Structures are given as structure tokens and as C-alpha cells.
Amino acid sequence: MKEYAVIFEKTSTGWSAYVPDLPGLGVAGPTYEATEQLIRDGIAFHIEGLLADGEPVPEPTTRVAKMPIPA
């Protein structure tokens, strides 16, 4: 099982998400929960498409960290 980093961003109309290691994959939804489901489905669909086209599936390399910074 591979684990890909997913970036979620709040927008003026809801949420968007993308996977840096899977270029071209991005989704938007009205709520965080809806966007999370869309990106899960999108990752599976994207990887299926790569495999069907005989393309390699990129390895996950992006790391995400939260860093506390005194403000």
C-alpha cells in the first residue's frame, strides 16, 4: 500500500485538494468531507488510468509536516 500526501486548501466556496506526486489530479468540493472522498476516488481513478495506459505509477515522495512557530 502506498501513501500519498494530499494538500487540502480552504477556498471561498468550499475546499480543494491535490496530490503533488500525481500531477494533473485535483478536486474541489463544498465541504472538507466531500473533498476528501473526491480525492480518494480521484487517486484510485488516476492510478487506474496510468496502469491502463502502460504508464508508471509515481512513487510517493512528498512529505508534509506541521511546524509550530511562535507568533
Between CA 69 and CA 61 the distance in angstroms is 25
Tell me 67's DSSP state: -
Question: Please, which pLDDT band fits residue 71 given cuts at 50, 70 and 90?
Answer: confident
Q: Mean pLDDT across the chain, nearest whole number? A: 97
- pTM to 2 decimal places: 0.90
Q: What is the pLDDT of residue 31?
A: 98
Mean pLDDT of 43-65: 97
Burial class for 36, CB neighbours closer than 10 Å (0-12, 13-18, 19+): middle
What does the pLDDT look like over 10-23, one tens digit per residue?
Answer: 999 999 999 999 99
CB atoms < 10 A from the CB of 13, how many? 9
